[in-house]
Amino acid sequence: MEIRVLRYFLAVAREGNITAAANTLHLTQPTLSRQLRDLEEELGQKLFIRKSHRIVLTPEGVFLRKRAEEIISMVDKTEAEFLSMENTVSGDIYIGGGETQAIRQIAEIIKELRESCPGVHYHLYSGNAEDVTERIDKGLLDFGILIQPADISKYDFINLPAKDRWGVIMRKDSLLAEKEFIEKRDLLGVPLICSRQAISQHQTGNEFADWFGEDFNKLNIVTTFNLVYNAAIMVEAGIGYAITIDKLADTSENSSLCFRRLEPGLESGLNIIWKKYQVFSSAAELFLNRLRERFSDV
């Protein structure tokens, strides 16, 4: 498989139409169609179902699309790193993580480096711990921000000084909004909108699971999410109460929502991780050195 052909394949998968993809790629339609047929013959699999005005990916095509996106992302990242190997530090840094206030500390470092190294560009990827570590393992991310507890035995890491406080987001006109804090018994029997991060933590066993204890399986989790923005919309619609981290959703005076902390309190520490023995680009190496300077005492 050639990288060029994988780019053609992704263009067709994205456009859903060979003619539109050919125009985007500045190719003739017969040329592009021939490249796709050659790719299918090379792989021995049918990748597309051709219909009158569009094409649909087969299951094999969906699988190839995922792999091709990863391959192209790695190729682009590698090319950018070689282009940045000059006296002036430039290039791209890829950072992944879940929704957390710790990104403010990372933003401060990025702001400082932007002033001294404007040629460095940053790419943020949002995902849970499993998503982030998978992309780090594949070389698609340089760094990841993980909310503890998480398995970081395979990685080098720095502890971040911030802690995320868990609680519940609810409508201000709900019954639980009258309480100063939320106890375990308050969550039994009410519809819950639960962070997938919390669910995955429960499955691996940790302090979050310990907080619920044996009552976790009694919870009525009606919706899960990985973006608090979406969860807040569900809460506003009256679907339920969202278990999440503080200061991620708008719970200001003008908002219809409010946040109540869990009692006993539950806080999670944070790490920024990277692959052991990682060979960094000059830009990523500079970023890591700045991280170490800032957080060496944590």
Across the chain, mean pLDDT equals 87
**DSSP strand E in 106-229: where?**
120-126, 143-147, 155-171, 181-182, 191-195, 220-225
**pLDDT of 199:** 65
**pLDDT of 204:** 46
Percent with pLDDT over 90 in the chain: 48
Please measure the distance between the N-terminal and C-terminal CA atoms of the chain and give it in whole angstroms: 47
DSSP string, 229-266: HHHHHHHHTTS-EEEEETTSS--STTSSEEEEEESS--
Residue 279 C-beta-side C-alpha neighbours within 13 Å? 3
Global pTM?
A: 0.66
Q: Given a cut of 50, is residue 279 above it in pLDDT?
A: yes
**pLDDT of 100:** 84
Digit-coded pLDDT (tens) for 34-89: 999 999 999 999 999 988 778 899 999 999 999 999 999 999 888 877 766 655 67
Q: How far is CA 136 from CA 97, 113, 164, 174, 272, in A?
A: 11, 22, 23, 41, 12
Give the Cα separation of 146 and 268 in Å (integer): 10
Residue tagged 């790490």 (tokens): 271
Residue tagged 């970081």 (tokens): 152
Q: Is the peptide bond before 118 cis (omega within 30 degrees of 0)?
A: no
Out of 14-18, 130-134, 163-167, 199-203, least confident range: 199-203
